[in-house]
C-alpha cells in the first residue's frame, strides 16, 4: 500500500520491461525503498537507525559466513581455529574483529532505533504490528549474539554459556531436564557448541525474514515522523529515493567512521581479555560478565537476592529479566495517549529521559561485580524500570495535557500549510 500520489515504477530499458512482466522484483524494491515510497518530509537523523541496523545485519552475515569457512565448531579445536583465523587466515583478523565489533555496532544502532520508537511513540496505532515485529527481532538478536559469543570457546564463552543455560534450571519442575536437553549434556560441551554454531548460522536469516515482515507492516501506514501527525497530503511527503537514501547515506558515513575507529584502533575494547584463555570447566574466571549490550538485563537478573513470597530469588531474577523485554510487547496498549510524539508531551518527555538514565545505571551495575552498592542500586533501578512501563506510562497518558499539535507536517516544517515549491529555500543569503 502507499499514498495515492506515490510515483509509479516505469521501466525504460527493454530488459527491465521484460523482467517486470515476468518477475516484478525491481518494482518491489522501487516501491519499498525507492522513489515509489513517499516518506514524511520532516524525518530527522533519529530515523537513520533502521537502515543502519539493516546494514549491520548484512555486515554480520557477510563476515559471519566468511568466518564459518575457517572456524571448526568442535570443543577440541574451536579455540585453536579462532586463533588460526586471527593469525594464519588471510585477512582473518579483519573478518573476526569486524564481526565481533559489528555485533556491538548492531546493538548500538538497534538500541537507538528502539529509543527513537519510545520517544516518538512509533509503537502506537496504526503501527503496533511494526513494533511487535521489532521486539521479536530484538529477542532473536539477543539469542544470536549470545550463541555467537560462545563459539570462540574461551573462558567467558564457556562460563557465559553455563550461567545463561543455568537460568533455565531455575524454572520449576522442568528446569533441570530442560537445561540438559538444551545443552545435550550436563554442562556445556561439544554438543552445546555444535548446536549453538548451527543456530548462530540460522538465526540471522530468520531475522532477515522478520525484517521483511517489519518493513512490510511499516509500509501499510507509512513511516511515522517527529511530529507524530499523520501524512495528510502530497506536500507532507518526499520520495524515499533520492531524499532519504541520501540522508541515510550520510548517516551511514558517520556510522562507519565510528565503527572503523573501534575496528582498527581498539578492536578489543568491548571484549573481555578472559576470552583469550581456552575454556576450562574446572576453573571459573573471577568476574563473569556478559557483553556490554546485555549488562542492563544481567543487572536485573542479579537484583533479586531474597525469596519473593514463595518464588525463589533465582527464579524471580530470571522472570524479571525476561519480563523486562516482554513488557515492550504491551507498550502500545499501556500508553493510551492519542499524541504520539514526545515533542508535544511535556510530562512523558521527562520520564523518557529518566528511563534512559535508569537503563544506563542498570547497565553500569550489570557490568560491575555483584557487591554493594551495586546490588542495591540495581534493585532500585530495576524497580523503577518496571514502574516506568507498568505505572508511570499508563498514568501519564491518562493525566497529561499535551501541547497543541501542528495541523500538518507541512505546517510544522514551513510554518503554514502552503504547498512547497522546489528550490524556494535555497536562495543564498546576500
Residues near other proteins (CB under 8 A)? 159, 162-163, 166, 180-182, 184-187, 189, 191, 195, 281-284, 286-288, 302, 305, 307, 312-314, 369-371
Is there a contact between 328 and 386 (Cβ–Cβ < 8 Å)? Answer: no
CA-CA distance, 9 to 28, in Å (whole number)? Answer: 9
Smallest gap from residue 166 Cβ to other proteins (A): 5
* Torsion, Cα of 319, 323, 325, 330 (10° steps): 160
Measured from the CB of residue 369, what is the shortest distance to other proteins in angstroms? 8
Smallest distance from the beta carbon of 270 to other proteins, in angstroms?
22
Least Cβ distance, residue 159 to other proteins (angstroms)? 7
The CA-atom distances, in angstroms, between 280 and each of 73, 76, 157 are 17, 12, 10
> Which is closer to other proteins, CB of 9 or CB of 364?
364
Place of cell 540522508: 247
CB closer to other proteins out of 187 and 380 = 187
CA pair distance 236, 38, nearest whole angstrom: 9
Nearer CB in complex with other proteins: 189/400: 189
Q: Which residues are catalytic?
A: 219, 223, 247-248, 291
Tally of residues, the chain: 430
Helix intervals (H) in 169-189: 175-183
* Per-residue CA distances from 362 to 299, 317, 321, 388 (Å): 6, 14, 12, 14
Q: Which is nearer to other proteins, 180 or 325 (CB)?
A: 180
Identify any residues that bridge with 237 across adjacent strands, giving them in sequence order: 40
Judged by beta carbon, residue 44 or residue 284, the one nearer other proteins is 284
Nearest C-alpha neighbor of 128 from the set 32, 221, 230 = 221
**In whole angstroms, how far apart are CA 346 and each of 170, 338, 396?**
42, 14, 10
H helix or E strand, kind and range, residue 39: strand 38-40
Measure the CA–CA gap between 251 and 113, rounded to whole angstroms.
Answer: 13
**Nearer to other proteins by C-beta: 52 or 182?**
182
Cα separation, 233 vs 356, in Å, equals 35
Say if residue 29 is exposed, middle or buried (CB neighbours under 10 Å; 0-12, 13-18, 19+): middle
Q: How far is the CB of 425 from other proteins (least distance, A)?
A: 59
113 or 314: CB nearest other proteins: 314
> Least Å distance between CB 288 and other proteins?
6
Q: In whole angstroms, what separates CA 421 from the centre of its chain?
A: 38
Distance of alpha carbon 220 from alpha carbon 130, whole angstroms: 10
Q: How far apart are CA 236 and CA 420, in angstroms?
A: 9
Radius of gyration of the chain (CA): 24
Cβ at position 384, least distance to other proteins in Å = 22
Amino acid at each position: 500500500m502507499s499514498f495515492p500520489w506515490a510515483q509509479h515504477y516505469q521501466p525504460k530499458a527493454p530488459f527491465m520491461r521484460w523482467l517486470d512482466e515476468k518477475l516484478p522484483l525491481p518494482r518491489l524494491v522501487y516501491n519499498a525503498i525507492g522513489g515509489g515510497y513517499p516518506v514524511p518530509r520532516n524525518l530527522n537523523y533519529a530515523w537513520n537507525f533502521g537502515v543502519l541496523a539493516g546494514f549491520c545485519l548484512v555486515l554480520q552475515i557477510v563476515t559471519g559466513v566468511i568466518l564459518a569457512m575457517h572456524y571448526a565448531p568442535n570443543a577440541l579445536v574451536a579455540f585453536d581455529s579462532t586463533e588460526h583465523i586471527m593469525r594464519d587466515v588471510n585477512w582473518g583478523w579483519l573478518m573476526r574483529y569486524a564481526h565481533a565489533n559489528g555485533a556491538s555496532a548492531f546493538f548500538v544502532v538497534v538500541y537507538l532505533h528502539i529509543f527513537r520508537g519510545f520517544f516518538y511513540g512509533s509503537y502506537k496505532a496504526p503501527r503496533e504490528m511494526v513494533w511487535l515485529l521489532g521486539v521479536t527481532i530484538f529477542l532473536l538478536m539477543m539469542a544470536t549474539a549470545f550463541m555467537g559469543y560462545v563459539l570462540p570457546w574461551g573462558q567467558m564463552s564457556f562460563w557465559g554459556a553455563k550461567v545463561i543455560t543455568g537460568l533455565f534450571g531455575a524454572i520449576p519442575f522442568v528446569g533441570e531436564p530442560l537445561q540438559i536437553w538444551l545443552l545435550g549434556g550436563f554442562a556445556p560441551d561439544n554438543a552445546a557448541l555444535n548446536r549453538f554454531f548451527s543456530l548462530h548460522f540460522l538465526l540471522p536469516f530468520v531475522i532477515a525474514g522478520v525484517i521483511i515482515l517489519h518493513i512490510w507492516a511499516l509500509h501499510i501506514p507509512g513511516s511515522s515522523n517527529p511530529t507524530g501527525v499523520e501524512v495528510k497530503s502530497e506536500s507532507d511527503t518526499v520520495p524515499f529515493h533520492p531524499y532519504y537514501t541520501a540522508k541515510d547515506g550520510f548517516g551511514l558515513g558517520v556510522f562507519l567512521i565510528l565503527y572503523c575507529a573501534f575496528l582498527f584502533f581498539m578492536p578489543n575494547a568491548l571484549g573481555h581479555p578472559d576470552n583469550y584463555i581456552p575454556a576450562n570447566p574446572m576453573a571459573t574466571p573471577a568476574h563473569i560478565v556478559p557483553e556490554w549490550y546485555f549488562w542492563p538485563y544481567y543487572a536485573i537478573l542479579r537484583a533479586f537476592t531474597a525469596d519473593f513470597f514463595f518464588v525463589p530469588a533465582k527464579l524471580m531474577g530470571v522472570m524479571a529479566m525476561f519480563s523486562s523485554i516482554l513488557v515492550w510487547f504491551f507498550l502500545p496498549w499501556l500508553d493510551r495517549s492519542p499524541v504520539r510524539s514526545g515533542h508535544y508531551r511535556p510530562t512523558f518527555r521527562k520520564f523518557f529521559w529518566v528511563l534512559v538514565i535508569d537503563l544506563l545505571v542498570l547497565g553500569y551495575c550489570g557490568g560491575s561485580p555483584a557487591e554493594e552498592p551495586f546490588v542495591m542500586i540495581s534493585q532500585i533501578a530495576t524497580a523503577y524500570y518496571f514502574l516506568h512501563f507498568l505505572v508511570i506510562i499508563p498514568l501519564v497518558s491518562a493525566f497529561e495535557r499535551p501541547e497543541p499539535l501542528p495541523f500538518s507536517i507541512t505546517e510544522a516544517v514551513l510554518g503554514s500549510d502552503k504547498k512547497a515549491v522546489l528550490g524556494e529555500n535555497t536562495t543564498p543569503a546576500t
